[in-house]
Protein backbone atom coordinates (compact mmCIF):
# COMPACT_ATOMS: atom_id res chain seq x y z
CA UNK A 1 0.00 0.00 0.00
CA UNK A 2 1.23 3.46 -0.82
CA UNK A 3 0.01 6.68 0.75
CA UNK A 4 0.53 9.67 -1.52
CA UNK A 5 -0.33 13.32 -1.90
CA UNK A 6 -2.30 14.62 -4.83
CA UNK A 7 0.00 16.81 -6.90
CA UNK A 8 -2.35 19.79 -6.62
CA UNK A 9 -2.49 19.81 -2.82
CA UNK A 10 -2.58 23.14 -1.03
CA UNK A 11 -1.09 23.41 2.45
CA UNK A 12 -3.31 25.02 5.05
CA UNK A 13 -2.06 27.16 7.92
CA UNK A 14 -3.51 25.90 11.16
CA UNK A 15 -3.67 29.08 13.26
CA UNK A 16 -4.22 27.30 16.53
CA UNK A 17 -0.97 25.36 16.23
CA UNK A 18 0.84 27.90 14.01
CA UNK A 19 2.18 25.37 11.56
CA UNK A 20 1.46 24.11 8.09
CA UNK A 21 -0.67 21.02 7.79
CA UNK A 22 -2.33 19.14 4.96
CA UNK A 23 -6.05 18.43 5.04
CA UNK A 24 -6.76 14.70 5.16
CA UNK A 25 -8.76 14.76 1.92
CA UNK A 26 -5.49 15.26 0.03
CA UNK A 27 -4.09 11.93 1.25
CA UNK A 28 -5.01 8.71 -0.46
CA UNK A 29 -3.94 5.09 -0.26
CA UNK A 30 -3.49 2.88 -3.27
CA UNK A 31 -2.42 -0.70 -3.83
CA UNK A 32 0.46 -1.02 -6.26
CA UNK A 33 0.73 -4.27 -8.23
CA UNK A 34 3.00 -3.22 -11.10
CA UNK A 35 5.75 -5.57 -12.38
CA UNK A 36 8.36 -3.02 -11.26
CA UNK A 37 7.01 -3.16 -7.71
CA UNK A 38 6.89 -6.96 -7.64
CA UNK A 39 10.47 -7.19 -8.95
CA UNK A 40 11.73 -5.40 -5.82
CA UNK A 41 10.86 -8.35 -3.60
CA UNK A 42 14.09 -10.29 -3.95
CA UNK A 43 15.36 -12.77 -1.37
CA UNK A 44 17.48 -9.98 0.12
CA UNK A 45 14.53 -7.64 0.66
CA UNK A 46 12.43 -10.46 2.08
CA UNK A 47 15.16 -11.36 4.59
CA UNK A 48 15.57 -7.68 5.49
CA UNK A 49 11.83 -7.35 6.09
CA UNK A 50 11.91 -10.47 8.29
CA UNK A 51 14.78 -8.94 10.30
CA UNK A 52 12.78 -5.78 11.03
CA UNK A 53 9.58 -7.72 11.79
CA UNK A 54 11.50 -10.01 14.17
CA UNK A 55 12.66 -6.91 16.08
CA UNK A 56 9.10 -5.44 16.07
CA UNK A 57 9.89 -2.53 13.73
CA UNK A 58 8.16 -1.41 10.56
CA UNK A 59 9.97 -0.86 7.28
CA UNK A 60 8.58 1.26 4.43
CA UNK A 61 9.89 2.09 0.95
CA UNK A 62 10.45 5.85 0.73
CA UNK A 63 11.92 8.62 -1.37
CA UNK A 64 12.71 8.39 -5.06
CA UNK A 65 11.83 4.70 -5.23
CA UNK A 66 8.17 5.57 -4.59
CA UNK A 67 8.28 8.23 -7.31
CA UNK A 68 9.87 5.78 -9.76
CA UNK A 69 7.30 3.07 -8.99
CA UNK A 70 4.41 5.48 -9.53
CA UNK A 71 5.94 6.46 -12.88
CA UNK A 72 6.30 2.81 -13.91
CA UNK A 73 10.11 2.75 -13.68
CA UNK A 74 12.14 0.19 -11.73
CA UNK A 75 14.09 2.05 -8.98
CA UNK A 76 17.89 1.93 -9.15
CA UNK A 77 18.25 2.27 -5.37
CA UNK A 78 15.81 1.93 -2.52
CA UNK A 79 15.47 4.17 0.53
CA UNK A 80 13.54 2.96 3.54
CA UNK A 81 11.82 4.67 6.45
CA UNK A 82 11.60 2.71 9.68
CA UNK A 83 10.45 2.98 13.27
CA UNK A 84 13.86 1.77 14.48
CA UNK A 85 16.37 4.32 15.75
CA UNK A 86 19.85 4.49 14.18
CA UNK A 87 21.31 2.75 17.24
CA UNK A 88 18.77 -0.07 17.01
CA UNK A 89 19.44 -0.45 13.28
CA UNK A 90 23.20 -0.67 13.86
CA UNK A 91 22.68 -3.39 16.47
CA UNK A 92 20.31 -5.32 14.17
CA UNK A 93 22.66 -5.10 11.19
CA UNK A 94 25.71 -6.11 13.23
CA UNK A 95 23.93 -9.13 14.70
CA UNK A 96 22.71 -10.17 11.22
CA UNK A 97 26.13 -9.67 9.62
CA UNK A 98 24.95 -6.89 7.29
CA UNK A 99 27.73 -4.49 6.31
CA UNK A 100 27.22 -0.79 7.08
CA UNK A 101 29.01 1.82 4.99
CA UNK A 102 29.35 5.61 4.97
CA UNK A 103 29.00 6.51 8.66
CA UNK A 104 28.79 10.24 7.91
CA UNK A 105 25.00 10.10 7.58
CA UNK A 106 24.60 8.78 11.10
CA UNK A 107 24.51 12.25 12.69
CA UNK A 108 21.52 13.02 10.43
CA UNK A 109 19.78 9.78 11.41
CA UNK A 110 20.62 7.87 8.21
CA UNK A 111 22.26 4.44 8.14
CA UNK A 112 23.60 3.12 4.82
CA UNK A 113 23.92 -0.65 4.59
CA UNK A 114 25.00 -3.09 1.90
CA UNK A 115 23.39 -6.50 1.66
CA UNK A 116 23.10 -9.01 -1.17
CA UNK A 117 25.08 -6.61 -3.42
CA UNK A 118 22.53 -3.81 -2.97
CA UNK A 119 23.16 -0.51 -1.19
CA UNK A 120 20.20 0.90 0.73
CA UNK A 121 19.66 3.86 3.02
CA UNK A 122 17.57 3.61 6.17
CA UNK A 123 16.13 6.60 7.97
CA UNK A 124 13.88 6.70 10.99
CA UNK A 125 10.46 8.15 10.33
CA UNK A 126 10.94 11.63 11.67
CA UNK A 127 9.32 15.00 12.12
CA UNK A 128 11.61 17.96 11.65
CA UNK A 129 11.01 20.25 14.65
CA UNK A 130 13.55 22.83 13.58
CA UNK A 131 15.64 23.12 10.46
CA UNK A 132 18.97 24.85 10.98
CA UNK A 133 21.18 24.65 7.91
CA UNK A 134 21.97 20.99 7.33
CA UNK A 135 21.45 19.65 10.87
CA UNK A 136 17.76 19.03 11.64
CA UNK A 137 16.47 18.36 15.14
CA UNK A 138 14.56 15.12 14.76
CA UNK A 139 11.80 13.80 16.93
CA UNK A 140 11.14 10.13 16.18
CA UNK A 141 7.56 9.12 15.45
CA UNK A 142 5.90 5.81 14.69
CA UNK A 143 3.68 4.85 11.77
CA UNK A 144 0.19 4.56 13.31
CA UNK A 145 -1.25 7.27 11.04
CA UNK A 146 -0.04 5.36 7.95
CA UNK A 147 -2.29 2.35 8.50
Q: Domains of the chain (ranges plus CATH)?
A: 1-31 (no CATH), 41-146 (3.30.460.10)
- Residue among 91, 76, 55, 69 nearest 121 (CA): 76
How far apart CA 106 and CA 103 sit, in angstroms, is 6
DSSP 87: H
Residue 42 has pLDDT above 50, yes or no: yes
Residue 27: what pLDDT? 57
Whole-model pTM? Answer: 0.60
First-to-last alpha carbon distance for the chain, in angstroms, is 9
Amino acid sequence: MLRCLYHWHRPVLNRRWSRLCLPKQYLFTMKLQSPEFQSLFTEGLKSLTELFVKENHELRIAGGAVRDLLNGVKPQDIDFATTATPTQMKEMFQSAGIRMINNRGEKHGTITARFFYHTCMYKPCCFFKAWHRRHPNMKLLSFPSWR
